[in-house]
Structure 1
Amino acid sequence: MHDRNLSRRTLLTATAVAATAVASAAPALASPAASRGTRARLERLISRMSLEEKVGQLFVMRVYGHSATDPDQADVDLNLEEIGVRNAAELISEYHVGGIIYFAWAHNTREPHQIADLSNGIQRAGLAQPTPVPLLISTDQEHGIVARVGKPATLMPGAMALGAGGSTASARKAAQIAGSELAAMGIAQNYAPVADVNVDPANPVIGVRSFGADPAAVAGLVAAQVKGYQSAGIAATSKHFPGHGDTTVDSHTGIPVITHTRQEWEEIDAPPFRAAIAAGIDSIMTAHIQFPALDPSDDPATLSRPILTGILREELGYDGVVVTDALNMQGVRDKYGDHRVPVLALLAGVDQLLNPPDLAVAWNAVLDAVKSGELSVARIEESILRILLLKEKLGLFRDPFVSQRGVDRTVGSPAHLAAADRIAERTTTLLTNPGGLLPLSRRSHRDVLVVGADPASPSGTTGPPTTVLAGALGELGFRTTALSTGTAPNSAKIAEAVAAAEGKDVVVVGTYNVTATSSQRTLVAALVATGVPVVAIAIRNPYDVARLDGIAAAVATYSWTDVELRAAARVIAGRAEPQGHLPVPVQRADDPSQVLFPIGHGLSYR
């Protein structure tokens, strides 16, 4: 709590003028107003829908399987157990859902050609309904540590890495490339960019998913990515409104409480959302957080009419699609039962209900609420029209299908991969280099041991970080040995690393969210004690350097995806200049009231 309050005060002092300037920007509607003819046509379409079809349009649901009609038997079993249908086609036929969300763990995203086939199968099922309507297919392709579609798609640096790069042009280009590849696979709505301002170093759920801790800088990068994604023909989604960046609770497992005052919200949390709206954002995702200064009822923002209608719709002037964060997360389930959550969300001002834990319960609850009059038909038709207008804007009514030729031409193209490498190269941040060890010389530092944490790999990796980094250095002319020591190395693993360091010229150790009691600190200390120079690379949060003593140099990559590790290897080897600058402050471990490295810190070789 002390760290968080210090960060908040620092940010308020440093960025109040710039943030206020962004906050005062005139609000804009989410998208150009549709023609009267288009609206009238879509209203006629809604009038032809049964009540069940109307309710279905409000839901975006998960489904297991690589195929819309013929998934593997294990996926059929999971679908029957969790949803009561066998496959995506049956889900659409039974519940008339307006959208489907793809997950890697649901086996939706094996490879680009399969994804395109799945998308086409889903669209065929949507057009086979009594009232034919294309579906809005979505996913969380934030890049960095959250990516549902992996290689051979192009994987870009994540948000905090782009924040370290500081280039709105790079952020926009990254989103435009990523959006074009999603569109080629039939994915029309991306739940990105994250618009949360990460002012709490201990934030367990946002962290490097945020562009940083400076509201004005975050706002500029959010707007750039909105324009990039939407120029590629897909819907961007800024999240998590009204701002999830100052919490130590993960809303997947509990209900975070944001203690910002209304003024602090205006100066810290609001600017990126205002910027997204001004940039024409197509959709905004809610947060399962309590925000007493905005709504003293203790309802999560997802269920708060004062926040979603009073602030987002009326004060900020936003008239686009509002989608809930996943309704199977504990943060939205603690106060009300699963049958009340979707109804209360719609009453609060939500349009899309994302991934309820039990679709039958949620779907029937909304249906019953309309039949009883708690929800008016006019209220749900208001949301349906917003959803259909978005589908119309994205061209789904004209042609919702994609081609394998489009996949081959677009996804993971050489030009896209080269652009990802160039963008990543500008993000690697050199934090310390007191003796000038970096860049490494192949003459004096030829033998390199790469050890460290190998956390579960995001989709943008071809292997453990130690293996990828050692391979990248090897390609640059070093003799490398890779040894995974894990995120919590025991004494035996530490002894193995110390033994492996014997005879090496330098040790590169990847660290992952080092805490005061982490055995990663013991590992680094033991390696330093060998006398071999140690280079520490923080492969997730950049705060690790504050807890590591005696190291010869420290680098931050903000993620352990291939593109960022390859860029770090080029920087370490002197093939690229370190250009990144911290987008968050790093506080002293022994005195958190003092900033060790401020926002903007970053060394170069020149």
Structure 2
Amino acid sequence: MSRTTTRRTTLSGALALAFAGATAPWADASGRRPDDGRVRGWVTSTLARMTLHEKVGQLFVQQVYGSDATTPDARNLPLYGVRTPAEVVQKYALGGVIYFAWTDSVQDPEQILGLSNGLQRAALSRDSKVEVPLTLSVDQEQGIVTRIGPPATQFPGGMALGAGRSAEDARTAAAITGMELKAMGLTTDFAPVCDTNVNPLNPVIGTRSFSSDPALAAELAAAQVRGYQEDGGVMSSAKHFPGHGDTATDSHVAFPVITHTRAEWESIDAPPFEAAIAAGIDMVMTAHLAFPALDDSGDPATLSHPILTGVLREELGFEGVIITDSLEMQGVRDRYGDAEVPVRALLAGADQLLMTPAMDEAFDAVVAAVRSGRITRAALDEKVARVLTLKARRGLVKDAMADPGALWDVVGIPAHLAAADAVSDRTTTLVRNDDAVLPLDAAGADLLVTGYGVSTTATLAAALEEQGATTTVRQTGTSPSDAQIAAAVAAAAGRDAVVVTTMKAWTSAPQQRLVAALRETGVPVVVVAVRDPYDVAYLGDAPTYLATYSYSPVALEAAARVIAGAVSPTGKLPVDIPVAGDPDTVLYPFGFGLGY
């Protein structure tokens, strides 16, 4: 039996697993949260026994270098002055750790679980009067921001879910993602993205967003909160408050300014965050951008008391943990030094500081601010109490360790993979099919697969071969040279069809030339946009165009099934696609999508 058939026949098992009972993994056998009285008692007694150093440590969530907790890694020295991840945790009494592939935290599920348990042992074995477990977090948004790849189950991401229009599918994706993270010892997913992506030129959000429609984005955000927290048993974080959807500037490298009026913020940016809060979101992540309609000081939202305390706490009523986006990002570092930024973020209303780039200086600055009264002891205790309360309510105090024996009963199991296939099948969007090229009769067809991505083209070709086609692959990257274009054109000769993948072709004239040259061969050309759906506006009148919103293998496999006619496309555009160079004129409207 083929892998595709195996995955797809177990779908009902996945949905049953995701929603069986309503008993979340952090609850007791009756499905109840830990008793709030016991939580309050533990938080109060723990706070009373914590030193100032330990309280301040709970405010920091840092990256650590190394694939396990106890092996020395010299990359920790410049930032922390110690070599092992365990020593970093113990030195600062950290509140949490965030995982990345570039820190070697993310390699495979067994390694992740081992690191997670090792870090928790380090946190719980400090020479201290208290034992406080860590939050262990990752940006597993799925789609283009996926830190943990296969064999963990993959989904195509936010905008793809928006194209699918299904709150149930969005919840399933979050539930399965959460279950698998929890099985690896991770406690927190920095998702969902609650930004309403109304700017097609947005370089940092784009397909991470559910939609340009606030109501759809709000519906799916709330569904994912419930999936992560109630079904998956992990904490989730709505990001990036107060909204990063209307900018053409990347806050990683510069300082965006959002020019929405207060009324526009209320109607465009706020609804997904309001929905996430109403659904019980545990955390909200701040954005490093100016929003003059909410605070005209020029400070980024991360450092804005009017935004974090005035709007998020007081107006929206959010009572959970406010965490900053990475303090390494340029958008928060332009106006103040790396030691001052954390203090200002805490004064603004943040509870936790993510990835400060100058740890000793920042830590000492926060301690000094408390001792001087700039940050009051009461304010510090309120912040730490929020962090401790969340850890207790999510069951970390009771049991912070992941069970190695249960890992492969959860991660990448057939039921989860089948659910991912089914969800992905409902997201692929057919935007153009002018010459009725699709569906292709793939059985025995001789296809050229070319365009963006070594793994992308190889995965798509393999998926088309599962549908019966014979394929030749000519990968050309994001900026194909004239020689690469000529080679692809030569390879197209005599084929039954060409399938060409584009990735942000709206920013790449060479990709646009590649598609044009392939069309001139007279061979039928199927364009598959594997990231932004906006590419179609820059490809002339390319007659056959699919949008997958993601180059995740699961999205590419779904696209192959649509191309071959095994699945009829049902995805609808979750954004308007404007005419190239004319953002006010709509080429393909929100909700557009063809079928067979």
Contact 2:479–2:508 at 8 Å: present in 1 too? no
Runs (4+) of structure 1 exceeding 4 A deviation are 31-34
CA distance in 1, matches of 2:282, 2:485: 50
CA distance in 2, matches of 1:38, 1:211: 35
Cα offsets for 1:534-569 (capped at 9, x unmatched)? 110111000111111343310000011100000000
Q: Following TM superposition, by how much is the alpha carbon of 1:89 offset from its aligned partner in structure 2, in angstroms?
A: 0.9
Q: Following TM superposition, by how much is the alpha carbon of 1:335 offset from its aligned partner in structure 2, in angstroms?
A: 0.7
CA distance in 2, matches of 1:89, 1:591: 53
- Of the structure 1 ranges 98-107 and 215-224, higher mean CA displacement relative to structure 2 is found in 98-107
Query: Which residue of structure 1 lines up, in the alignment, with residue 380 of structure 2?
Result: 380
Q: Does 1:271 align with 2:262?
A: no
Query: Which residue of structure 2 lines up, in the alignment, with residue 132 of structure 1?
Result: 131
- Of the structure 1 ranges 31-40 and 253-262, higher mean CA displacement relative to structure 2 is found in 31-40
Query: Which residue of structure 2 lines up, in the alignment, with residue 350 of structure 1?
Result: 350
The one-letter code sitting in structure 2 at the alignment partner of 1:39 is R
CA distance in 2, matches of 1:446, 1:550: 25
- Aligned-partner SS, 1:387: helix
- Aligned-partner SS, 1:122: helix
Cα offsets for 1:122-157 (capped at 9, x unmatched)? 111111121221111111000000011111100112
Q: Does 1:423 align with 2:423?
A: yes
Q: Following TM superposition, by how much is the alpha carbon of 1:81 offset from its aligned partner in structure 2, in angstroms?
A: 2.3
TM-score normalised by the chain length of structure 1: 0.91
Query: Which residue of structure 2 lines up, in the alignment, with residue 598 of structure 1?
Result: 589
Q: Following TM superposition, by how much is the alpha carbon of 1:38 offset from its aligned partner in structure 2, in angstroms?
A: 2.4
Cα offsets for 1:42-74 (capped at 9, x unmatched)? 111111111111110110000011101125xxx
- Aligned-partner SS, 1:147: coil
Q: Does 1:211 align with 2:210?
A: yes
Query: Which residue of structure 2 lines up, in the alignment, with residue 7 of structure 1?
Result: none
Contact 1:427–1:579 at 8 Å: present in 2 too? yes
Query: Which residue of structure 2 lines up, in the alignment, with residue 82 of structure 1?
Result: 79
Cα offsets for 1:80-128 (capped at 9, x unmatched)? 1232111111011211111000111111111111111111111111111
Q: Following TM superposition, by how much is the alpha carbon of 1:590 offset from its aligned partner in structure 2, in angstroms?
A: 5.9
Query: Which residue of structure 2 lines up, in the alignment, with residue 572 of structure 1?
Result: 563
Query: Which residue of structure 2 lines up, in the alignment, with residue 315 of structure 1?
Result: 315
- Aligned-partner SS, 1:440: coil
Q: Following TM superposition, by how much is the alpha carbon of 1:372 offset from its aligned partner in structure 2, in angstroms?
A: 1.3
CA distance in 1, matches of 2:286, 2:90: 28
CA distance in 1, matches of 2:95, 2:543: 55
CA distance in 2, matches of 1:514, 1:551: 13
Q: Does 1:99 align with 2:84?
A: no
CA distance in 2, matches of 1:282, 1:590: 40
Q: Following TM superposition, by how much is the alpha carbon of 1:310 offset from its aligned partner in structure 2, in angstroms?
A: 0.5
Contact 2:34–2:393 at 8 Å: present in 1 too? no
* Identity, % of aligned positions: 56
CA distance in 1, matches of 2:35, 2:319: 12
- Specify whether residues 62 and 590 from structure 1 end up closer, same or farther in structure 2 by C-alpha distance, changes over 3 A only: closer
The one-letter code sitting in structure 2 at the alignment partner of 1:311 is V
Q: 1:112 aligns with which of 101, 109, 113?
A: 109
Query: Which residue of structure 1 lines up, in the alignment, with residue 25 of structure 2?
Result: none
Contact 2:478–2:508 at 8 Å: present in 1 too? no
CA distance in 2, matches of 1:133, 1:433: 58
Q: Does 1:583 align with 2:595?
A: no
Query: Which residue of structure 2 lines up, in the alignment, with residue 17 of structure 1?
Result: none
Q: Following TM superposition, by how much is the alpha carbon of 1:442 offset from its aligned partner in structure 2, in angstroms?
A: 3.2
Query: Which residue of structure 2 lines up, in the alignment, with residue 42 of structure 1?
Result: 43
CA distance in 2, matches of 1:593, 1:388: 48
Instruction: Give runs of aligned pairs for residues 47-196 of structure 1, distance below 5 A.
Output: 47-71=48-72, 76-129=73-126, 130=128, 131-196=130-195
CA distance in 1, matches of 2:577, 2:279: 31
The one-letter code sitting in structure 1 at the alignment partner of 2:45 is R
- Specify whether residues 419 and 262 from structure 1 end up closer, same or farther in structure 2 by C-alpha distance, changes over 3 A only: same
Q: Following TM superposition, by how much is the alpha carbon of 1:592 offset from its aligned partner in structure 2, in angstroms?
A: 3.8
- Specify whether residues 507 and 301 from structure 1 end up closer, same or farther in structure 2 by C-alpha distance, changes over 3 A only: same
CA distance in 2, matches of 1:148, 1:347: 31
The one-letter code sitting in structure 2 at the alignment partner of 1:120 is N
Query: Which residue of structure 2 lines up, in the alignment, with residue 399 of structure 1?
Result: 399
Cα offsets for 1:322-372 (capped at 9, x unmatched)? 000001000000011111111011111101111101111111110111111
CA distance in 2, matches of 1:556, 1:234: 31
CA distance in 2, matches of 1:591, 1:80: 50
Query: Which residue of structure 1 lines up, in the alignment, with residue 20 of structure 2?
Result: none
- Aligned-partner SS, 1:536: strand
Q: Following TM superposition, by how much is the alpha carbon of 1:171 offset from its aligned partner in structure 2, in angstroms?
A: 0.2
Query: Which residue of structure 2 lines up, in the alignment, with residue 488 of structure 1?
Result: 479
Unaligned runs of 5+ in 1: 1-30, 455-462
The one-letter code sitting in structure 2 at the alignment partner of 1:357 is P
- Aligned-partner SS, 1:593: strand
Contact 2:284–2:323 at 8 Å: present in 1 too? yes
The one-letter code sitting in structure 2 at the alignment partner of 1:315 is E
Q: Following TM superposition, by how much is the alpha carbon of 1:40 offset from its aligned partner in structure 2, in angstroms?
A: 2.9
Q: Following TM superposition, by how much is the alpha carbon of 1:491 offset from its aligned partner in structure 2, in angstroms?
A: 0.6
Cα offsets for 1:438-486 (capped at 9, x unmatched)? 000136x7110000011xxxxxxxx611111011101110010111011
Instruction: Give runs of aligned pairs for residues 446-457 of structure 1, distance below 5 A.
Output: 446-454=445-453
Instruction: Give runs of aligned pairs for residues 178-257 of structure 1, distance below 5 A.
Output: 178-231=177-230, 232-257=232-257
CA distance in 1, matches of 2:438, 2:426: 17
CA distance in 2, matches of 1:33, 1:195: 28
CA distance in 2, matches of 1:588, 1:34: 56
Q: Following TM superposition, by how much is the alpha carbon of 1:591 offset from its aligned partner in structure 2, in angstroms?
A: 4.3
CA distance in 2, matches of 1:185, 1:497: 42
Instruction: Give runs of aligned pairs for residues 532-547 of structure 1, distance below 5 A.
Output: 532-547=523-538
CA distance in 2, matches of 1:250, 1:566: 31
CA distance in 1, matches of 2:507, 2:157: 26
CA distance in 2, matches of 1:33, 1:383: 21
The one-letter code sitting in structure 2 at the alignment partner of 1:229 is Y
CA distance in 2, matches of 1:137, 1:533: 49
- Of the structure 1 ranges 31-40 and 503-512, higher mean CA displacement relative to structure 2 is found in 31-40
Aligned residues: 562
Contact 2:506–2:534 at 8 Å: present in 1 too? no
Contact 1:525–1:550 at 8 Å: present in 2 too? no
Contact 2:431–2:547 at 8 Å: present in 1 too? yes
Instruction: Give runs of aligned pairs for residues 459-474 of structure 1, distance below 5 A.
Output: 464-474=455-465
Cα offsets for 1:307-327 (capped at 9, x unmatched)? 000010001111100000001
Contact 1:198–1:207 at 8 Å: present in 2 too? yes
Query: Which residue of structure 1 lines up, in the alignment, with residue 9 of structure 2?
Result: none
Q: 1:478 aligns with which of 469, 472, 482?
A: 469
CA distance in 2, matches of 1:220, 1:190: 19
- Aligned-partner SS, 1:143: coil
Contact 1:34–1:389 at 8 Å: present in 2 too? no
- Specify whether residues 592 and 276 from structure 1 end up closer, same or farther in structure 2 by C-alpha distance, changes over 3 A only: closer
Unaligned runs of 5+ in 2: 1-31
Contact 1:533–1:552 at 8 Å: present in 2 too? no
Q: Following TM superposition, by how much is the alpha carbon of 1:272 offset from its aligned partner in structure 2, in angstroms?
A: 0.4
The one-letter code sitting in structure 2 at the alignment partner of 1:165 is G
Contact 1:587–1:593 at 8 Å: present in 2 too? yes
CA distance in 2, matches of 1:47, 1:91: 24
Contact 2:39–2:393 at 8 Å: present in 1 too? no
Q: Does 1:549 align with 2:540?
A: yes
